[in-house]
């Protein structure tokens, strides 16, 4: 109980620090399944106010060790739970209370002349003094905010698309597509189509058990959340923070909590980094009960049989995706392996993942190639 009290005390303080001297905000509003508002602002979760995109009181940002790649989009993720409710820890999917609302806002740092920037640097995204919390709208182009809301009968996915003025986002269950020009740090530019998935496509990833069809949050799981985050109140491990603000109970001894590697952290082994990358980008489909279970290729973190995670595994229904190669992974031969071919393709008929990107993630691809190049042995 002490933790809940802590949360109750902390929330108003946070609200004060976040709001400054502005008028008090309306509280987060929970809508029933069949009464979903057309406008994102009605939820009072993350709102565009005074040139900032700011989370409301109790709407807590979080980050992942290794995140899904989505065309270099930057993401602001938040979690909110109704007063007095908490999620129960589990090794895989936390038992989130009914009423939990997760948001993921996709945005890009702005470049010149209406372009967007391709960069891993988040530092200019935020309002000064509010790193990790509030986005400076003058510096970023908001694309969409996806909401996952836990109902009594399961999670519901709702895609909201931001207007050009960055004042409001509107529900688009059929998704959206817009042409963009992205400029990299070296000055190269790419024209690409940013695609907002439709609501069924949300399920394409979030229903990681294909038969049951039930949606689940993919990112906010123990192994992905187990890292430090810099909150307005200081830096803290996210799971401990969630426990502290009353959002999580049943947290085991710290040593028992799994932790996926950060794919870009070169102090971790190639194997840990590559498997973490495959886990978050592929494991939601490529697990035995997932939508790609029929492929026999299992890329979720628990798979330990090398053939099942691709080593010397022949393709089944890869079609164009085989890239004229015989095996998913040929040890030592990234150029002869199907996985890097598909991750490096932008042809919708060949590329992997099938949804969520139209560009190649160069760093992720390089990691997978290095990983395969480092593998000893052969397939013959």
Partner 1 sequence: MKTAAQKMGIAGVALAAVLAGACSKDVGTASPQADQAQASASKDFQKNLLEQLISAKTGDVIELPAGTFHLNRSLSLDVDGVTIRGAGKDKTVLSFKNQIQGAEGLLVNASDFTIENLAIEDTIGDALKVNEGKNIVIRNVRVEWTNGPATENGAYGIYPVRTTNTLLEGNVAIGASDAGIYVGQSRNVIVRNNRAESNVAGIEIENTIGADVYDNVATKNAGGILVFNMPNLPQPGHSTRVYNNKVFKNNTENFGHKGTPVAAVPAGSGVVINSNDNVEIFDNDIADNDTANVIVSSYFMAGYYTDKSTQKAFDPYPEGIYVYGNKFSGGGGSPGLMKLKALKVAEFGLSGSLPDILWDGAVDANKMVDGKLPDALKLCVDNGDAKVLNVDFQHDFKNITTEMDSHQCSLKKLPQIVLDFDKPQGDGKEVAKVEASDA
Smallest distance, Å, CB 358 to partner 1?
7
By CB under 8 A, tell whether 379 contacts partner 1. yes
Only one of the segments 7-15, 21-29, 114-122, 285-293 lies at the binding site for partner 1 (rule: CB under 8 A); that segment is: 285-293
Residue pointed to by tokens 């508002």: 37
Q: Quick one: 25 exposed, middle or buried, by C-beta within 10 A (0-12, 13-18, 19+)? A: middle
By CB under 8 A, tell whether 312 contacts partner 1. yes
By CB under 8 A, tell whether 168 contacts partner 1. no
Nearer to partner 1 by Cβ, of 99 and 314: the residue is 314
Size of the site for partner 1 (CB under 8 A): 49
Question: Considering only residues 4, 198, 237, 257, which one is a binding residue for partner 1 as defined by CB under 8 A?
Answer: 198
Using CA atoms, how far apart are residues 367 and 246, in angstroms rounded to an integer? 37
Smallest distance, Å, CB 267 to partner 1?
32
Nearer to partner 1 by Cβ, of 36 and 251: the residue is 36
Nearer to partner 1 by Cβ, of 93 and 354: the residue is 354
By CB under 8 A, tell whether 259 contacts partner 1. no
By CB under 8 A, tell whether 106 contacts partner 1. no
Nearer to partner 1 by Cβ, of 174 and 366: the residue is 174
Structure tokens at 141: 């182009």
Give the distance between the most distant pair of CA atoms in the chain: 70
By CB under 8 A, tell whether 313 contacts partner 1. yes
Enumerate the H helices of the chain as residue ranges. 2-19, 199-206, 222-225, 238-244, 270-282, 338-343, 362-373
Question: Considering only residues 97, 99, 232, 288, which one is a binding residue for partner 1 as defined by CB under 8 A?
Answer: 288
Residue pointed to by tokens 């996210």: 238
Only one of the segments 11-19, 25-33, 228-236, 348-356 lies at the binding site for partner 1 (rule: CB under 8 A); that segment is: 348-356
Question: Considering only residues 124, 167, 230, 320, which one is a binding residue for partner 1 as defined by CB under 8 A?
Answer: 320
Question: Considering only residues 29, 167, 200, 235, which one is a binding residue for partner 1 as defined by CB under 8 A?
Answer: 200
Nearer to partner 1 by Cβ, of 201 and 244: the residue is 201
Q: How many CA atoms within 13 Å lie on the side-chain side of 23?
A: 3
| DSSP state string for 285-335 | TSSTTSTTGGGT---STT---TTTTTBTPPPSS-GGGGTT-SBSB-TT-GG
- What is the CB neighbour count within 10 angstroms for residue 176? 16
Nearer to partner 1 by Cβ, of 61 and 323: the residue is 323
Smallest distance, Å, CB 354 to partner 1?
4
Smallest distance, Å, CB 200 to partner 1?
4
Only one of the segments 111-119, 232-240, 249-257, 319-327 lies at the binding site for partner 1 (rule: CB under 8 A); that segment is: 319-327
| DSSP state string for 184-238 | ETTS-EEEEEEEEPPHHHHHHHH--STTT-----SSSSHHHH-SEEEETTEEEEH
Contact indicator for 205, 355 with CB cutoff of 8 Å: yes
Using CA atoms, how far apart are residues 80 and 373, in angstroms rounded to an integer? 43
> Helix axis angle, 270-282 relative to 362-373, nearest 10°?
130
Only one of the segments 14-22, 24-32, 194-202, 273-281 lies at the binding site for partner 1 (rule: CB under 8 A); that segment is: 194-202
Contact indicator for 58, 26 with CB cutoff of 8 Å: no
By CB under 8 A, tell whether 268 contacts partner 1. no
Residue 104 DSSP label: E
Residue 23 DSSP label: P
Contact indicator for 72, 108 with CB cutoff of 8 Å: yes
Smallest distance, Å, CB 175 to partner 1?
7
By CB under 8 A, tell whether 322 contacts partner 1. yes
Smallest distance, Å, CB 170 to partner 1?
13
Using CA atoms, how far apart are residues 79 and 242, in angstroms rounded to an integer? 10
Smallest distance, Å, CB 322 to partner 1?
4
- In the complex, which residues of this chain contact partner 1 (CB under 8 A)? 173-175, 177, 193, 195, 198-201, 203-204, 210-211, 213, 288, 291, 293-294, 296, 307-308, 311-327, 338, 347-350, 354-355, 358, 379-380
């Amino acid at each position: 109980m002490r933790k809940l009290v802590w949360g109750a005390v902390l929330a108003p303080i946070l609200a004060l620090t976040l709001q400054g001297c502005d008028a008090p905000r309306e509280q987060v509003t929970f809508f029933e399944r069949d009464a979903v508002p057309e406008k994102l602002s009605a939820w009072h979760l993350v709102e565009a106010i005074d040139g900032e995109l700011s989370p409301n009181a109790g709407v807590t940002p979080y980050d992942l060790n290794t995140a899904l790649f989505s065309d270099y989009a930057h993401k602001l993720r938040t979690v909110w739970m109704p007063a007095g409710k908490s999620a129960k820890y589990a090794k895989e999917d936390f038992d989130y209370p009914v009423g939990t609302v997760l948001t993921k806002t996709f945005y890009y740092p702005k470049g010149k002349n209406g372009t967007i920037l391709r960069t891993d640097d988040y530092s200019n995204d935020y309002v000064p003094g509010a790193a990790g919390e509030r986005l400076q709208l003058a510096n970023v182009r908001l694309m969409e905010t996806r909401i996952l809301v836990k109902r009594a009968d399961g999670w519901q996915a709702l895609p909201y698309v931001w207007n050009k003025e960055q004042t409001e986002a509107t529900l688009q269950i059929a998704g959206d597509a817009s042409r963009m020009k992205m400029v990299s740090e070296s000055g190269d530019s790419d024209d690409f189509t940013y695609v907002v998935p439709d609501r069924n496509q949300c399920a394409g990833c979030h229903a990681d058990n294909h038969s049951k069809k039930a949606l689940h949050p993919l990112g906010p799981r123990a192994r992905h959340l187990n890292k430090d985050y810099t909150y307005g109140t200081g830096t803290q491990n996210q799971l401990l923070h969630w426990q502290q603000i009353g959002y999580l109970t049943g947290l085991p001894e710290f040593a028992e909590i799994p932790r996926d590697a950060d794919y870009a952290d070169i102090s971790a082994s190639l194997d840990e980094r590559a498997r973490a990358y495959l886990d978050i980008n592929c494991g939601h489909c490529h697990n035995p009960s997932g939508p790609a279970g029929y492929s026999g290729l299992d890329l979720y973190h628990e798979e330990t049989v090398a053939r099942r995670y691709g080593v010397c595994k022949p393709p089944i229904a890869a079609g164009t995706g085989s890239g004229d190669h015989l095996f998913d992974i040929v040890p030592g031969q990234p150029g002869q392996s199907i996985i890097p071919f598909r991750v490096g393709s932008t042809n919708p008929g060949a590329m992997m993942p099938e949804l969520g990107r139209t560009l190649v993630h160069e760093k992720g691809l390089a990691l997978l190639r290095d990983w395969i190049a480092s593998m000893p042995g052969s397939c013959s």
